[in-house]
Structure 1
Amino acid sequence: MESVDVLIVGGGPIGIACGLEAKKKGLSYLIVEKGTIVNSLFNYPVNMQFFSSSERLEIDEVPFISKEAKPKRNEALEYYRRIVTSNKLNIRLFEKVTGIHKTDGHFRIETNKSVYQADRVIISTGFYDLPNLLGVPGEDLPKVSHYYNDPHYYASQKLAVIGASNSAVDAALECWRKGAEVTMIIREPEIGQRVKYWVRPDIINRIEEGSIQAYFNSNVKEIRPGVLIVETPEGIITLDNDFVLALTGYQPNFEFLEQAGIALSKDDKRLPQYNPETMETNVKGLYLAGVICGGMETHKWFIENSRIHAQLIVSDILRKKKEATAH
Structure 2
Amino acid sequence: MRNTFDVLIIGAGPIGINCALECKKRGWNYVVIEKGALTNSLFNYPKNMTFFSTSEKLEIDEIPFISNNPKPNRDEALEYYRRVVTSNKLNIHLYETVKHIEKEKEIFKVTTSKTEYLAKKVIISTGFYDIPKLINVPGEDLPKVTHYYKEAHNYSLQKVIVVGASNSSVDAALEIWRKGGDVTMVVRGETIGERVKYWVRPDIINRINEGSIKAYFNSEITKIDSETVEIKTPKGNLTLENDYVVALTGYLPDFNFLKQSHIALSDDGRNIPNYNPETMESNIEGLYLAGVICGGNETHKWFIENSRIHAKLIAEHIESLNESTE
**TM-score, structure 2 as length reference:** 0.99
Q: Which residue of 2 aligns with 1:243?
A: 244
Q: Which residue of 2 aligns with 1:221?
A: 222
Structure 1 segments, 4+ long, off by >6 Å, are: none
Q: Which amino acid aligns with 2:28?
A: L
Matched, 1:281 2:267: no
CA distance in 1, matches of 2:282, 2:135: 31
1:101, distance to aligned residue in structure 2 (A): 0.4
- Aligned residue for 2:121, secondary structure, equals strand
CA distance in 2, matches of 1:60, 1:96: 26
CA distance in 1, matches of 2:178, 2:197: 18
Q: Which residue of 1 aligns with 2:207?
A: 206
Q: Which amino acid aligns with 1:323?
A: S
Structure 2 matches for 1:21-32, cutoff 5 A? 21-32=22-33
Matched, 1:256 2:257: yes
Q: Which residue of 2 aligns with 1:159?
A: 160
Aligned residues: 325
CA distance in 2, matches of 1:77, 1:255: 29
CA distance in 1, matches of 2:259, 2:23: 25
1:324, distance to aligned residue in structure 2 (A): 2.0
Matched, 1:182 2:183: yes
- Aligned residue for 2:71, secondary structure, equals coil
Structure 2 matches for 1:89-108, cutoff 5 A? 89-108=90-109
Q: Which amino acid aligns with 2:211?
A: G
1:190, distance to aligned residue in structure 2 (A): 0.3
Listed one character per residue, the Cα deviations across residues 23-63 of structure 1 (whole Å, up to 9, x for unaligned) are 00111100000011100000000000000000000001100
Q: Which residue of 2 aligns with 1:128?
A: 129
CA distance in 1, matches of 2:321, 2:70: 40
- Aligned residue for 1:16, secondary structure, equals helix
Q: Which residue of 1 aligns with 2:270?
A: 269
Listed one character per residue, the Cα deviations across residues 97-117 of structure 1 (whole Å, up to 9, x for unaligned) are 011000021000000001000
Listed one character per residue, the Cα deviations across residues 279-312 of structure 1 (whole Å, up to 9, x for unaligned) are 0000000000001000000000010000000000
Matched, 1:290 2:256: no
Listed one character per residue, the Cα deviations across residues 57-84 of structure 1 (whole Å, up to 9, x for unaligned) are 0001100001112100000000000110
Listed one character per residue, the Cα deviations across residues 136-167 of structure 1 (whole Å, up to 9, x for unaligned) are 00000000000000101100000000000000
CA distance in 2, matches of 1:269, 1:198: 30
The alignment yields a C-alpha RMSD, in angstroms, of 0.5
- Aligned residue for 2:188, secondary structure, equals coil
Q: Which amino acid aligns with 2:267?
A: K
**TM-score, structure 1 as length reference:** 0.99
Give the share of equivalent positions with the same residue, in percent.
Answer: 63
Q: Which residue of 2 aligns with 1:60?
A: 61
- Aligned residue for 2:318, secondary structure, equals helix
Q: Which residue of 2 aligns with 1:316?
A: 317
Q: Which residue of 2 aligns with 1:192?
A: 193
